[in-house]
Structure 1
């Protein structure tokens, strides 16, 4: 286990509901997604004030900043500046809007609040969530980014230097810590070189589980050699998929693929070995 708190918990702080002039609200992409002006204009053109909801703001020292509901707020600004023509009734209705205002939050807290509010709605993709977390200084994302930068890896790229499945990579750091991610990426590169499939999060997750659970037995250099003998990273990942689906006879999920990856890496380590063997999990238990 990492032993580090990577939760999205936010400290107790004042929250109040206040009528706010939308023109006074500012935006900071460090703590949320980038503003899509075309999307905001589409909202403004069809805005129903009673369906506006309650945007969430953070009270910083200099001004109020949108945390959630940025596009709705900007839509109101477009209406009030006359950039989107609407009826007088709609314009009057958005001169002030009810907002949920949070005070005393650090940037990392704002990012946590944004991610929490959007996590279940799937409005924010994992790559955007990662970018926001890094910019806001959230420890989980910063620690992960530091390791990826060390290995010259980019999130969201399909090149040989691109990580596939950032949610899985973040899970590795949450469960095992950044040091294990660092070791796992080194082992994968030593085994298969720098290819787009080397960095697949499920494969890296299997390596991370094995070296985390058996640090006194598994030697990274030897494990890399063992994995290399299994074939290229594509065939190794195919083996994981076949195992996870029990030869395509059952559906697989993320947990099933990770268990299968654990099995595949452990089996590779045990191959032709009489001593220093490690337990092989039963993934269908």
Structure 2
């Protein structure tokens, strides 16, 4: 158990004063502390005049904390890395955000597995902080997706089933019959979840229950782009998949055959390609943006093209983000 006596936080020693010892321990999350001078700016050498000074607090990533809160599972909580200092307190070197969520979800008495280092110097603490927060190899989205299927993740299991319903697969790289745009597929699945039924606790019901008039977006999107360009690697481009999904999410009554025809450029002198659509989207995006941000102007372009030649108000598509027709 961590000491609960309240003492002023003391920094790690400039040099180790005792032999380094490391061991595993279960520690109350309420007894895991954050050194307010142990911030990433100081350790990475990127202090600016705005955040310099010994009282600088470690910045909390609100978005990351919210994500951890949403997918909270005590079983999958990995050990935190902590430094046991001379003041008898345990200071977090890795696991600050998940510890915050553990306190919120389980209470301060929740016991967390920790890898404890005792007798660290300030330099050694900094090295461990860097190893935990900078020196990790980024995990590719597809690798996370593949493992999550084994873990029984309901969203990703549904994504795989919907893709396979089109006799396609998901892979780390895109080919004629494999989709590599895992992040785009996830974004589309989230669009469906906005409309899906939930239980009394607010959790999604599985299999997903959508209101009348709505069908899962992924099979529709894949049908539309395949009918437009066939099965080629370019067909499964993530930005295009997102954009088509945005159009259909806003307009579930859209005619898929007309949408495919407009995307392909039928009736024009030359067929339209995915690359041409992307190029037009980028030119309409301030600062270029990323794949996600460019999908919104691309969706607007698609809606404009779909509506070209239509005169009846009732069949016109609405741009994503626009209010309902009055």
TM-score, normalization by structure 1: 0.54
User: Which position in structure 2 is the counterpart of 1:159?
Assistant: 175
Counterpart selection for 1:179 from 216, 238, 244: 216
User: Which position in structure 2 is the counterpart of 1:277?
Assistant: 316
User: Which position in structure 1 is the counterpart of 2:260?
Assistant: 224
- Which string of whole-angstrom CA distances, capped at 9 and with x for unpartnered residues, describes residues 209-230 of structure 1? 11111113x1111211111116
User: Which position in structure 1 is the counterpart of 2:72?
Assistant: 10
User: Which position in structure 2 is the counterpart of 1:205?
Assistant: 242
User: Is the counterpart of residue 139 in structure 1 residue 151 in structure 2?
Assistant: no
Give the structure with higher Rg (CA).
Answer: 2
Q: RMSD in angstroms over aligned alpha carbons?
A: 3.8
Change (3 A) 1:261 1:164: farther
- Which string of whole-angstrom CA distances, capped at 9 and with x for unpartnered residues, describes residues 73-116 of structure 1? xxxxxxxxxxxxxxxxxxxxxxxxx9449xxxxxxxxxxxxxxx
Could you list the structure 1 runs, at least 4 aligned residues long, displaced by more than 6 angstroms after superposition: 13-18
Deviation at 1:154, TM superposition (A): 2.6
Tell me, yes or no, if the aligned pair for 1:54 and 1:100 is still in contact at 8 Å. Answer: no
Tell me, yes or no, if the aligned pair for 2:174 and 2:236 is still in contact at 8 Å. Answer: no
Change (3 A) 1:100 1:228: same
Secondary structure of the corresponding residue to residue 197 of structure 1: helix
Secondary structure of the corresponding residue to residue 174 of structure 2: coil
Tell me, yes or no, if the aligned pair for 1:191 and 1:228 is still in contact at 8 Å. Answer: yes
Tell me, yes or no, if the aligned pair for 1:54 and 1:99 is still in contact at 8 Å. Answer: no
Specify which structure has the bigger relative contact order, considering alpha-carbon pairs within 8 angstroms and separated by 6 or more residues.
1
Deviation at 1:8, TM superposition (A): 4.9
Tell me, yes or no, if the aligned pair for 2:262 and 2:306 is still in contact at 8 Å. Answer: yes
User: Which position in structure 2 is the counterpart of 1:237?
Assistant: 278
Deviation at 1:159, TM superposition (A): 1.7
Which segments of 5 or more consecutive residues in structure 2 lack a partner in the other structure?
Answer: 1-68, 81-92, 96-111, 116-131, 194-214, 266-270
Specify which structure has the higher proportion of helix. Answer: 1
Distance 1:130 1:205 in 2: 18
Distance 1:252 1:207 in 2: 18
Counterpart selection for 1:260 from 297, 308, 313: 297
Secondary structure of the corresponding residue to residue 198 of structure 1: helix
User: Which position in structure 2 is the counterpart of 1:45?
Assistant: none
Secondary structure of the corresponding residue to residue 173 of structure 2: coil
Secondary structure of the corresponding residue to residue 215 of structure 1: coil
Change (3 A) 1:162 1:54: same
Change (3 A) 1:192 1:157: same
Change (3 A) 1:16 1:160: closer
Secondary structure of the corresponding residue to residue 251 of structure 1: coil
Secondary structure of the corresponding residue to residue 300 of structure 2: helix
- Which string of whole-angstrom CA distances, capped at 9 and with x for unpartnered residues, describes residues 93-142 of structure 1? xxxxx9449xxxxxxxxxxxxxxx99xx7732111111111111101110
Deviation at 1:202, TM superposition (A): 1.2
Change (3 A) 1:15 1:282: closer
Tell me, yes or no, if the aligned pair for 1:126 and 1:166 is still in contact at 8 Å. Answer: yes
